[in-house]
Structures are given as C-alpha cells and as structure tokens.
Structure 1
Amino acid sequence: MVGGVLTLAKAYSEVGADELVFYEISASVEKRLLDVNLVENIARHIDIPFCVAGGIKSVADAARVLERGADKISINSPAIARPELIKELHDEFGKQCVVVGIDSFFDETTGEYLVYQLTGDPNASSRTRYKTEEWVKRLQDLGAGEIVLSCMNQDGVRNGYDNEQLSKIRQLCDISLIASGGAGSMQDFVDVFQQSQVDGTLAASVFHKNVINIGELKQFLIANQVAARLCK
C-alpha cells in the first residue's frame, strides 16, 4: 500500500499536477494523527506543493506534519469539533497554510446544503449542526486560507461537479475555493471553472484509474480559454 501511494505521488509530480493532496481519511474516525513517516517519504519524492489531511487536531499535530515536508495542512472534522483550531493554526503558521475541507450534502427534502463530518467511515458519518453557507462564512472569519468543497451527492459518480452549489458558495467565499467531487470528463473541468469561477479543482479516481491524463487535460483547458500551467 505504501509503495502504491509513493508511486502515485511521484507519477503525479512528474506528469504536471499543480499540487498533491493526501488525505488519510480513516485517521479522524480512528482518533489518531495520520502517518507522518509516510508524509515524509512522499515529500522526498515530489517537487510540487503538498497538502496533507488526517486527524490533525492541534497546533502540535500540524507542526509535526509540516516538519515532515507538507506545505499545507487541511482539516475537516476536527474543525467542526473545535472551530477555534482554525484561528490557532492561522496565528501559528499563517493563512496560506490553513486549508479547511467541507463535506456538503444537498438535502432534497429541505432544499438545503448541510455539512457532514467523519465521512471517511459510512458508519461514523453524521450530519453536523452547520449549514454549508454559514460554515463557509465562519471559516473565513476564523482565518482559513482555502476551502475545499466536497459535494457529497456528486462524489464518485463522475457526472460533473455540482456547479449550482459551487456558484452559490463562490458568491460568499472571498478566499481560495477548490471544487471536489464529480469529475468524470475533461469537459467537467472546463464547466466548473467557467460556470462556478472556482480557483482550482481536485479529483482522484479519474486520475488514479487513468480515465483522464493530466497533460491532455491541461491542453484541453487552455483550448477552452481556461488558464492552466502546462506540463514540462
């Protein structure tokens, strides 16, 4: 498993990914910090920005991860449990270092976007007290530098990003907004940039399973008037 992670990380760095995001999704559910030795090994094999998430619950946890080579730390469920953690991380490491992930679910019954936590385990996943819009506003007030909005209804289905939700969040989000969940084609990436005005996109399975080639994707984006850094 570790070998597979390292191989993927190195490959993405070499083919032109702009940033590598590593989530150890079971860490928060299991109430532990992610494997910092693995973080260090990955950092040694890549030369692109590296964002890491998994059970980071304190400034000390974040320091351990950053000392091992991460450029940014990302928190999700720990921020819901203790929102002041965001300000503490901001004050210690700077705004540019603090990413907050949001798992947002559209409730068709109420017509509202709701924040969920501990989504790394279906048995532990649960709705929080926050609506997505109000949580986004609070995160900005607390000092987050970037938000990764994971649209749960779209995740894994590969039929496009939730541009309606992302557009609504874009209107009230003044910091970097990254779209996650739903990418299935190169056109999906063009659509989310043009329709939702996000700052970046995050995808996993379409790259892991070679559905989309990163170099070809960047060429496609540029051909459709979306700015992208070309691979070397």
Structure 2
Amino acid sequence: MLKKRIIPAIDVANNKAVKYVQFRNPTIIGDPAELGQKYAEQGADEILYLDTTASLQSHEVRHEWIRHVAEQLYVPFSVVGGIRTIDDFKSVLRAGADKVGVNTAAVNRPELLSEAADIFGKQCVVLALDAKPVRNNEDEIIRWEVYTHSAHNSSGLDAIEWAQRAEELGAGEIVCTSIDRDGMKNGYDNVLLKALTDAVNIPVIASGGAGSLEHIRDTFIEGQVDAALVASLLHYGELTVHDIKQYLHDLGEIPVRYVPTKAAQR
C-alpha cells in the first residue's frame, strides 16, 4: 500500500515565508529555506511553496529564493504561483524545484497542462485547485467553484469537472484548497475532497483547515486523499511533522513513512 504523505505548506511573499488566513493578511514567519529544512528534519515527505506575490502582482517568478531552498533542502519540493508559460516551468525546474503547480494560467489556457506534461512528464505537473462552495436558497452546497489569482477571482468553473479535465490534459496530481477553511483550523473540507478522489485517478492533496491531529486523520479516512498539507499547526509550533506521523502510525490504519527517532525537533 502506498504511504500517505505529510506535506508542510509554506507561503512566500517578497522572498519571505508568511502565513495567511483565507489568503489574506500575511504575517512573516521566517526564511523559506530554513523553514523547509526544519520540517524536512522533522520527517516531512515533501514541501510545497506557494509564491503568492507572483500570482497577485503578476510579476515573474523570483528564482533566487527557489535556488536557496534547493541548496538547503534534501526532500522534494513543489513551487506554485506565478507560473504562466512553458519557459516558467523550465526556469523553476532548473532553479531546483521537483514539481511545478499552476492554477490561474491553467484556467486561462488549459493546454499549458498538456504542453508541460509532454515536455517534463506528468509527475512534475501539479494542478493547484482553490475552491469555494456554491449554495442554494436552502444553504445546501450544490457544487464547488474554482477561484484563481490566489483565491481572489471566481472562474465560474465547476471544481470537479475542472479536475477531471485537468487529469485528461496531463496533470499528475491535484492540490485542493478549501478557501473558506484556509487558516481557520476547523478541519479540511472532506466532502469536497471525497468528491474529487472519486472523480479522478491521480493523487489528491488536501489543503486548508488542519487544526488538530484528528483533522489530519479524518481527511485520510473520510476524504480518501493521498497527502495532507499542514501549515498553521507547524508554523506556530503546536505540532511537529514527527508528532503527526507518530499519531498516524500509532493508530495503525493510515500507512506513513515513520521513523521513531529523535526527529521530533521543534
């Protein structure tokens, strides 16, 4: 059975690691490379970096911080944000990233996914899917809608249909963020995540809402995801990656890469 992954998520704004709540009000929390190295030492399977300023301010991806991360990090890492062209894919991979994630550019021109998969392989093409629920007059969720530009603009696309199309075009995995739950620490949107995992055959990574060990367990069981992104719990020192993996390992129902050593560095 494939091991489930724990992936720390680090937002980057102006070359600094920051933390958002619902994609707003960033607080500086440190250096991207140093944070990534810290989480790798705790047992992280991968690290995901989101360059929010590149998306919001429409500037080019800044490669200096990516190269700095690549020099210090010994686990795979992804870079999401500001990727618009095949040349952007190429430059970010050359800077040292293992995977590249796209949201806005893929919505604007879906063929980018196919072009990138053909050149670099599906394994390094990540669809970043930011979604919000759409409700009827009875306040029931009838679907989820895709948002772009770091969750600021509605695309009108149905999240499940877009995920299926992205898989057909060449996306190798999907990072799905529930915008309403991002940074709120009230649990992942497992209904959305289960709808996604039922609809596609590529790995789905849960993002947005981890506030406890139980939330992480629940998204693997209820959402049937392949990996869980964790941010606030780690950034504010409430848990380590080792704590999370030890908890999941001890439960005995969720397979993780777990080494019972002194990796629980805080």
What is the TM-score of this pair, normalised by structure 1? 0.94
Q: Alpha-carbon deviation of 1:93?
A: 0.0
Query: Is 1:226 aligned to residue 257 of structure 2?
Result: no
1:117 equivalent in structure 2? 148
**Counterpart of 2:90?**
63
Alignment of 1:197-212 (within 5 A): 197-212=224-239
Higher relative contact order (CA 8 A, sep 6+): 2
Structure 1 residue 33 displacement after superposition: 2.4
Q: Does 2:39 match 1:8?
A: no
Poorly superposed stretches of 4+, deviation over 6 Å: none
Separation in structure 1 between the aligned mates of residue 93 and residue 153 of structure 2, nearest angstrom: 29
Deviations 1:153-180 (A, max 9, x none): 2111101111111111111110011000
Work out whether 1:91 is the aligned partner of 2:136. no
Residue 52 of structure 1 corresponds to 79
User: Which amino acid letter does the alignment assign opposite residue 228 of structure 1?
Assistant: V
Aligned Cα root-mean-square deviation (Å): 1.4
| Structure with the higher helix share, 1 or 2 | 1
Instruction: Give the structure with the larger strand fraction.
Output: 2
- Conserved in 1, the CA contact under 8 Å of 2:126 and 2:172? yes
Equivalenced residue count is 228
Where do 5+ consecutive residues of structure 1 fail to align? none
Residue 191 of structure 1: how far off its partner (Å): 0.7
Unaligned runs of 5+ in 2: 1-15, 18-29, 262-266
Following superposition, the deviation at residue 119 of structure 1 comes to 2.3
**Alpha-carbon contact 2:148-2:154 (below 8 Å) kept:** yes
2:203 matched to 1:176?
yes
Residue 106 of structure 2 corresponds to: 79
C-alpha distance in structure 2 between counterparts of 1:65 and 1:126, whole Å: 25
Return 72-81 or 4-13, whichever deviates more: 4-13
* Among 108, 124, 136, the residue aligned to 2:135: 108
Q: Report what 2:166 is aligned to.
A: 139
Contact 1:59 1:88 in 2 (8 A): yes
| Residue identity (%) | 36
Quick one: distance in 1 between partners of 2:55 and 2:105? 7
